[in-house]
Amino acid sequence: MAKEEFRVYNSMTQQKEIFKPHVPGHVSMYVCGVTAYDLSHLGHARAAVNFDVLYRYLQHMGYQVTYVRNFTDVDDKIIRRANELGEEPLSLSNRFCQEYINDMADLHCLPPTHQPRVSEHMEQIKDMIAQIINNDCAYEVDGDVFFAVDKSPNYGQLSGQKLENNRAGERVAIDSRKRNPADFALWKAAKPGEPSWDSPWGPGRPGWHIECSAMSAHYLSFKFDIHGGGIDLIFPHHENEIAQSFAACQESCVSYWMHNGHVTNNNEKMSKSLGNFFTIREITQQYHPLALRHFLISAHYKSPLNYTLSQLESASDAWMTLQDCEDALSSLEKSRKEGPEQKGKTARVTPAAQECISKLRSEFQTKMSDDLNAGPILTGAFQEALKFINSSLNMLKKKQQKQQQLAVIQSLVEIEKEVKEVLTVLGLLSSSAYSEVLLQLKDKALKRAGLVESDVLHLIEERALARKNKDFPRSDQIRADLSVKGIALMDVGTETIWRPCVPVDQVQPPPPVEQENIALPAEQNTASTGGSKSFKQ
């Protein structure tokens, strides 16, 4: 696919545009990361997964990508949480940076090129603040440095917010020392018991917004291609980034601003007040991380994503079906290699298989090139490919001429290549053996059902005895009771096995983790969330 065909929605212009990087063949991308003071939540997961899909797709198109995603490890909320726990702020943030990295690995998010932390880039931050002051766009008061929004004539260009409509004091108390109530802090004077760094304005620490301007400029220059994050970051965070970056360097320019949508819970916005918030860890304790990833890319990245247990169950079932398909194809390939060599016999892909491959390839390119519309790829032509694979595998069980069998096998080999390519770009291809994946899925299904495997095996034995005694109502009841809990019994010959399934009835939400381990995002700087900054269970 030609690179110029890729269109992305630019939040700045509010329209889709053909993607053209500053440097041909190379893409520079910055995505706002998390404030590391607790376990990351579902909104963080949505942002991370969707921008990971973008990262993978750009590489798939042949671009070299420099991807930067920051950690905020110095912040008011980190300090407050550290004080509550009696821990050093940087120690606490370092711990939760690592927890976030662990969650991202579980979700198959590729590590960015750089993952800078605020505490390691104080010199770059102070240099940018000094430049903004020198350009008469910021002022110092009692060790604090404020950005003068009146010096930014285009303030509001991204968000549409006007200065006269900016409700100062809604998020923080109005500071009478400010020239304009909308002015925001670039540097905060040190307070007793808080971490601080020396600066030309006295000891202190950075404000929130300046860190992303300084680190993006350091790793990508003042001109780069893509800046991403959650839609909730458009104002004030990204608006302030634009203002201060331009104040430091008038050549500052981001070509494409990309924002992912909110996450809702049963069509209600996730929030602390509603008590409907989930951490990544809460969900992956009971569902496979790649089932969660499947769910997270099921809706277009810009659209709201509604979290329900039924949708997560369906995503888990769909992902398990993918694994079953991959296992069957892998077994076929293994038996083909171990079988007798077919000398002098060649086989072509069947016309039906070629049509299936062409449709999947075309749909993948069409959807992904249209503003990364990944969700529909997992339906449509992809489902047709899976049905074709299952049909072909069943065909191989029937007696056929050797040449016909070879054609079917060759067709399956070629379709598998296309399916794997799609799954790799979407980050849904497991690196674990099928047997290990199945054990993981079964373990999590048991947790959701509130059972252990011995319980299921005991019920299988009881059902077998009921069938032997022709007590079919009891046999049927056992199977029905388990299916309600997401456990499907399958009779294979004389043996009964069990597998996870979508529960017949709605199950209860996953139980919360211990209260002290739940993230407590406040009103800002959860960066690149998929929803409100007041997320909390």
- Burial (0-12, 13-18, 19+ Cβ within 10 Å), 524: buried
* Other residues' Cβ atoms within 10 Å of the Cβ of residue 74: 26
In the chain, the number of structural domains is: 3
137: which residues sit within 8 A by CB, 6+ positions away? 147, 148, 151, 152, 244, 247
Q: 111 with 143, same domain?
A: yes
pLDDT above 90 covers a percentage of the chain that reads 76
* Other residues' Cβ atoms within 10 Å of the Cβ of residue 434: 15
β-strand partners of 72 = 35
- Give the pLDDT of residue 345: 56
The whole domain housing 458 covers 435-500
Residue 442 lies in a domain: yes
Q: 81 with 8, same domain?
A: yes
pLDDT in tens, 512-531: 433 333 232 333 333 333 33
Of the residues 426, 452, 479, the one at which a domain ends: 426
pLDDT-based confidence at residue 532 (cuts at 50, 70, 90): very low
- Give the pLDDT of residue 238: 98
DSSP letter for 349, please.
P
Residue 510 lies in a domain: no
- In order, the DSSP letters of 141-197 are ETTEEEE-GGG-TTTTTTT---GGG--TTSSS---TT-SSTT-EEEEEE--TTS--B
Residue 304 lies in a domain: no
Report d(CA 84, CA 236) in Å as an integer.
Answer: 28
Q: 418 with 445, same domain?
A: no
Residue 296 lies in a domain: no
- pTM, rounded to two decimals: 0.90
pLDDT in tens, 379-428: 888 999 999 999 999 888 886 677 788 889 999 999 999 999 999 999 99
3-state class (DSSP) for residue 258: strand
Residue 534 has pLDDT above 60, yes or no: no
Residue 208 lies in a domain: yes
- Give the pLDDT of residue 49: 98
Looking at every residue in the chain, the average pLDDT score rounds to 88
Does residue 74 contact residue 190 with C-beta atoms inside 8 Å?
Answer: no
- Give the pLDDT of residue 424: 96
Q: 342 with 225, same domain?
A: no
Average pLDDT for 18-28: 97
Six-digit token pair at 337?
């290699």
Residue that has been written with the tokens 């983790």 in this structure: 513
- Give the pLDDT of residue 265: 86
Q: 415 with 487, same domain?
A: no
- Give the pLDDT of residue 519: 31
3-state class (DSSP) for residue 255: strand
Report d(CA 318, CA 137) in Å as an integer.
Answer: 54
Six-digit token pair at 154?
């285009």
Q: 227 with 98, same domain?
A: yes
Residue 530 lies in a domain: no
Secondary structure of 332-377 in HEC code, one letter for each residue? HHHHHHHCCCCCCCCCCCCHHHHHHHHHHHHHHHHHHHECCCCHHH
- Give the pLDDT of residue 493: 87
Q: 92 with 198, same domain?
A: yes
Of the residues 371, 395, 426, the one at which a domain ends: 426
Q: 248 with 391, same domain?
A: no
- Give the pLDDT of residue 166: 54
Q: 220 with 73, same domain?
A: yes
Does residue 74 contact residue 210 with C-beta atoms inside 8 Å?
Answer: no
Q: What angle do CA 515, 521, 522 make, to 5 degrees?
A: 120
Average pLDDT for 466-471: 96
Residue 210 lies in a domain: yes
CATH number, residue 206: 3.40.50.620
- Give the pLDDT of residue 512: 41
pLDDT in tens, 472-521: 999 999 999 999 999 999 999 889 999 999 998 644 444 443 333 323 23
Average pLDDT for 98-126: 98
Report helix angle 208-220 to 122-134, nearest 10: 100
In this structure, are strands 26-31 and 64-69 parallel, antiparallel, or unpaired?
Answer: parallel
Minimum mean pLDDT range among 70-84, 292-306, 321-335: 321-335
First CA to last CA distance, the chain = 44
Single-letter code of the amino acid located at 443: D
Q: 215 with 361, same domain?
A: no
- Give the pLDDT of residue 402: 76
Query: Radius of gyration (Cα) for the chain, nearest Å?
Result: 27
Q: 56 with 159, same domain?
A: yes
Residue 346 lies in a domain: yes
pLDDT-based confidence at residue 361 (cuts at 50, 70, 90): very high
Q: 274 with 345, same domain?
A: no
* Other residues' Cβ atoms within 10 Å of the Cβ of residue 349: 18
332: which residues sit within 8 A by CB, 6+ positions away? 393, 396, 409, 412
pLDDT in tens, 133-160: 999 999 999 999 999 999 999 999 999 9
